[in-house]
Structure 1
Amino acid sequence: MTIHAFPPISTPTATRLILGSMPGVASLQAQQYYAHPRNAFWPIMAQLLRFDGALPYASRVAALQTAGIAVWDVLQSCERVGSLDAAIAPASIVANDFAQFFAQHPQITHVFFNGSLAEATFKRTVLPQLNLLPQEQTLQYARLPSSSPAHAALSADAKLAQWRQVITDS
């Protein structure tokens, strides 16, 4: 089944971008980033940015935007059954248009990958085209541990410690 990503959460003044791979089933059904109740993304962001993680989705999105944090996915579409990144059919991958995104968001200096597949897919499918853009020369990249409940190798505190760089890198 072919699935499609959401538009980015962003403002023209965003300075940091967090990239996932593709929304899971719960997110697609809710039409919200990181909607799975056990995904650590919103609890981590709530702690880092000091907002109530139980706020309505629109308020949580506004908190990210106020903090200069954009959220998007590397993939625009792919074929996948279920929610696991491992179930994505590699031949079906279509990346989002990052050249246009970065042109519209010239203040982004840091790109953070929510997990290893987002990083690997970006480096393989997007980065070769971005090497032609002047902004790409100054972007800093970092992989964060996946916020997915499927990635249970780290404790919540260990994930939070690594995710702290989203707000401390400048």
Structure 2
Amino acid sequence: MHSAAGFPPIASAGARILILGSLPGVTSLRQHQYYAHPQNAFWHIMETLFGIPKQTAYAQRCDQLQSLKLAVWDVCHSASRPGSLDSAIVAESVIANDIPGLLKHIPTIECIAFNGQAAAKLFKKHVVLETTIPQITLPSTSPVHASLSVAQKLAQWQTLQVRLSHPAFLSHAGESPL
């Protein structure tokens, strides 16, 4: 059985929203980049919503996510999984990332957005939080989840724009919205 291990988070001080996937797929692991599969809609959605050009170098895209107060990570630190399908993750093999530790390190995170049902289910099963934090499940950006078009996925992912511009996302120091 193939064991896959994820990446460190894309996160910086002041992040407001943590986007959690499940575990990087084969293409992402090969390229050592989140959402590297060319048919994955994640970077297309980030480009449309936040102006992060999907053709820009990966490091620059990561910097732009952080400047927008977005953080990205996966629920799973590692797991056994043949291929890239979330449904193939062997439940007993999951080792979760230290998401509670990240939330303590970056206390400005005010919302967790799951990139798909699999990430939400893995989180619920493997992560225990000592605090309540709003959580939303968005449609998976994976090309495997084709029940929704990219446009339909984009419409639901727009909630991130709303959350970032909502007054609740102002810093405690009173700085203006993003």
Same fold (TM over 0.5): yes
Once residues 75 and 10 of structure 1 are traced to their aligned partners in structure 2, the CA distance between those partners, rounded to angstroms, is: 16
Shift of 1:70: 0.1
Query: Which residue of structure 2 lines up, in the alignment, with residue 153 of structure 1?
Result: 147
- Letter aligned with residue 143 of structure 2: P
Matched, 1:94 2:95: yes
Q: Take 2:161 and 2:19, find their aligned partners in 1: how far apart are those partners?
A: 11
**Deviation at residue 167 of structure 1 after TM alignment:** 1.8
Letter in 2 for 1:48: L
| TM-score, normalising length: structure 1 | 0.93
2:156 is equivalent to residue 141 of structure 1: no
Aligned to 1:162: 156
> Which aligned segments of 4 or more residues in structure 1 are displaced greater than 2 angstroms?
none
Question: Partners in 1 of 2:50 and 2:70 — Cα distance?
Answer: 10
Q: What per-residue deviation string (whole Å, max 9, x for no partner) do you get for residues 109-161 of structure 1?
A: 010000001001101111xx31x3xxx22x11000000000000111111100
Q: Which is further off, 46-55 or 65-74? A: 46-55
Number of matched residues? 163
Structure 2's unaligned 5+ residue stretches are 167-178
Identity among equivalent positions (%) equals: 45
Partner of 2:9: 8
State the AA in 1 paired with 2:125: R
Query: How far does residue 65 in structure 1 lie from its aligned partner after superposition?
Result: 0.5
- State the distance in 1 between where 2:39 and 2:11 align: 24
1:17 aligns with 18
Structure 1 residue ranges without an equivalent (≥5): none
SS of the counterpart of 2:9?
A: coil
Q: Which amino acid in structure 2 is aligned with residue 43 of structure 1?
A: H
User: In the alignment, which residue of structure 2 is the partner of 1:111?
Assistant: 112
| Higher fraction of helix | 1
Q: Which residue of 2 aligns with 1:70?
A: 71
In the TM superposition, residue 38 of structure 1 has moved relative to its aligned partner by 0.3
Alpha-carbon distance, 1:51 to partner = 2.8
**Cα distance, 1:59 vs structure 2:** 1.2
